Amino acid sequence: MSPRPRSDMRKIREVLRLTFALGLTRRQVADALHLAPSTVSDCIKRAQTAGLSWPLPAELDTAALERRLFPSVAPPTTTRAVPDWNYVRKELTRVGVTKWLLWEEYREVHPDGYAYSQFCNLYREWTKTLGVVMRQEHRAGEKLFIDYAGPTIPIYDYLSGEVLITAQLFVAALGASSYVYAEATATQGLEDFVTSNVHTFEYMEGAAKILVPDNLKSGVKKPNRYEAELTRTYEEMAAHYGAAVIPARSYKPRDYPEDSVIPSRGCQVRSPAVIGSDSSG
């Protein structure tokens, strides 16, 4: 059997950064980088086997990293790999995720692993060791939800009273506190969209760990129900601020909190004076 094709080394570096530096789950990393969760698990396992974490050593260039992660001779395995039951349990809370799907991901990484029936039996036995389930809580500063509000805003000339432009209203809200930043921009284009993100970080004095934009053309180049493809500029901006981007899935309004634009603790609305081709932002 021929080996699976390797992922691009740039994405493998991002897998390590998002996992070890930001502490994202494997499925969150997979969603952010458009990789299969099994591929993410394989990268993490190889990095742990090689004794690598984040940040990577400065002298470890792309070629050296590839040699460390993909040695020419892999050590033989004599025992069956035990699934990460905490990961399995957490993923089963997601809509549409089944034991069969998680078992297939497990067997893709460990072809000699447990059969499906034994996988289920072992998981059932493992759940008996658990105590009372705790209520899941949102973490402060973990997610920033980003979108444009519905109707446009007419901007009037101060002297003539004529409508100069119909502005777009950019809105960003923190998931845990619903703390909101909003500003009016001339368009929803890439430059305005990225600039509004930067203004948000400046106002909030930091970037959230995960950015959750709606499927806007400015940030998401190719919307997809399961794996949205980001524009390179937006992806690089997020990396610059040490954040991951996991767009809301198309046709999944529950991915977006309905009260995320309610300013429960505060709201900044930037002046319409920022609009204009000669404005410095």
Write out the chain's pLDDT in tens, 281 residues: 334 445 578 888 899 999 999 999 999 998 898 888 998 999 999 989 888 889 888 888 888 888 888 887 545 555 788 999 999 988 988 877 899 999 999 999 998 899 999 999 999 999 888 765 545 456 888 899 998 887 788 989 888 889 888 899 999 999 888 889 999 998 888 899 999 999 999 999 999 999 988 766 554 555 444 344 568 888 899 999 999 988 875 544 444 444 434 333 445 555 444 444 343 33
Where along the chain do its domains lie?
Answer: 9-73+80-127, 143-274
What's the half-sphere exposure (Cβ side, CA atoms, 13 Å) at 245?
28
**How many beta carbons lie within 10 A of that of residue 190, not counting itself?**
16
Q: Report d(CA 229, CA 252) in Å as an integer.
A: 16
Using DSSP's 3-state secondary structure scheme, residue 49 falls into helix
Within a 10 A sphere around the Cβ of 211, how many other Cβ atoms? 26
What is the C-alpha R_g of the chain?
Answer: 22
Residue 213, strand partner residues: 146
Indicate whether this model's pTM tops 0.85.
no
Which CATH number applies to 143-274: 3.30.420.10, 3.40.50.1820, 1.20.1730.10, 3.30.460.10? 3.30.420.10
